A and B are shown apart, each in its own frame.
Chain A
Amino acid sequence: GAVVSQHPSWVICKSGTSVKIECRSLDFQATTMFWYRQFPKQSLMLMATSNEGSKATYEQGVEKDKFLINHASLTLSTLTVTSAHPEDSSFYICSARYQQISNQPQHFGDGTRLSIL
C-alpha cells in the first residue's frame, strides 16, 4: 500500500488563488521530504528539500515566496502555491525518506495536477 499520501490529486482554480498541497508519510516518520515539479513529457525538477523543524532549502531559480513549504511535523509537509497563475499549472509530486539511511528508497506520493485558469 501507499506509504506517502498526497492530497489533493487534482486542483482546478482561478488565477490569483493560493493552493495548498499536502504530503503525508503514512507509517513512518520522514525527516526529509522533497517537492518536485513536472511539466508534460519532461522529467521531475527538484524544487526544494524540506527538513522537519527547519526552513526548506530551495533550488536555484525557485521562488521562495511563490512556493511556500512548511514541514511542521515528521509526517506532514505542505507546499502552498501563492497567488497562482496559469504558468504555475503543472504536476507536483512529493517524496519522503525514512531517516538519513543511504539504502532506503524514496517513497513518492501520487502527485497533484494543478490547473490554473
Chain B
Amino acid sequence: SQQGEEDPQALSIQEGENATMNCSYKTSINNLQWYRQNSGRGLVHLILIRSNEREKHSGRLRVTLDTSKKSSSLLITASRAADTASYFCATLRDNFNKFYFGSGTKLNVKP
C-alpha cells in the first residue's frame, strides 16, 4: 500500500469477542483515521486520532497511537455480526495534502 501494512490481513472471530487490528505507517503524520468499508461500498469514518494523542475511545472502539513506532491499533470490543467489514487506517500528512490508506484488515464476525 502507499502508506504501510495492516495486520492481520484477515480476522475471523465469534460474536462477543474482541477484535484488534494493527496499522503501521511510514512517515510523520498530522493525524490517523480509521475507516470501515462494507463490501463494494463507500467508506465510513470511525475515529480520528491526532499525532499528539495516544489513545481515544468512541463507543465500542478504542484506538491507540504510538508515533515513536509509527503504529496504531483499533480495538472493537464485544463484536457483533454487523461489524463484519474491511477496516482501513489512513494517515494525513505532508502539510495536510496527502491522505494515504493502509492495506486493510478484513474482519468476519460469526454469529
Contacts and interface: CB of A to CB of B under 8 A. Distances in A.
Interface stretch (B13-21, B66-74, B76-84, B99-107): B99-107
Given A43-B102, A43-B104, A103 B42 contact: no
Given A46-B2, A102-B50, A34 B45 contact: no
The main secondary structure of chain B at its interface with chain A is strand
Interface residues of B, number: 27
Given A43-B1, A43-B102, A106 B45 contact: yes
B16 to A, nearest CB: 27
Interface stretch (A12-20, A74-82, A107-115): A107-115
Contacts of B41: 110-111
7 contacts: A6-B42, A44-B101, A46-B2, A105-B33, A105-B45, A108-B35, A111-B40
Contacts, number: 69
A57 interface: yes
A25 interface: no
B50 to A, nearest CB: 6
Interface of A: 6, 32, 34, 36, 41-46, 49, 51, 57, 59, 91, 93, 95, 97, 100, 102-111, 113
B99 to A, nearest CB: 5
